[in-house]
């Protein structure tokens, strides 16, 4: 039996020796303290969740201030990004042409004058 067990045992004996009124008073104070802690934590959680709405607004406002400061540089960067996007679009059209040619070659047919119509695309299960 360690010192801690003896101390907690003595507290229990002293608590049992007190009259019922004092024991109820201690129990009610413990209950009140527990409720106070629970509701304080709930209020803090509510405030944290509310801050999730405000944080993006503050970031957007700061980014607007930075855009005003760096506007010539941003303009050049945006132009470069637009040019890169245009290059990606042309690459996609080339890819579509290659796939269309491969489909026609596999089917052994010439391309109809009306063009091709893709009705559905589905993955072929190659595992057998």
Position of tokens 């009610």?
28
Q: Where are the beta strands (DSSP E) in the chain?
A: none
| 61-103 pLDDT, tens digit each | 887 777 666 666 667 677 777 777 666 555 566 777 777 777 7
| 6-33 pLDDT, tens digit each | 555 566 666 677 788 888 888 899 999 9
Listed in sequence order, the DSSP H helices in the chain are 3-17, 20-69, 71-107
- Is pTM, for the whole model, over 0.75? no
The vertex-59 CA angle with 57 and 63, nearest 5°, equals 115
């Amino acid at each position: 039996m360690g010192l801690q067990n003896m101390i907690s045992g003595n507290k229990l004996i002293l608590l049992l020796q007190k009259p019922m009124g004092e024991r109820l008073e201690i129990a009610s104070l413990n209950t009140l303290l527990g409720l106070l802690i629970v509701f304080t934590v709930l209020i803090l959680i509510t405030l944290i969740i509310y801050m999730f709405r405000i944080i993006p607004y503050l970031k957007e406002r700061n980014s607007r201030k930075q855009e005003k400061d760096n506007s010539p540089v941003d303009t050049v960067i945006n132009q470069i990004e637009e040019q890169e996007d245009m290059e990606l679009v042309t690459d996609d059209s080339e890819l579509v042409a290659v796939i269309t040619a491969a489909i026609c070659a596999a089917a052994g047919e010439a391309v109809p004058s009306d063009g091709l119509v893709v009705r559905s695309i589905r993955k072929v299960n190659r595992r057998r």
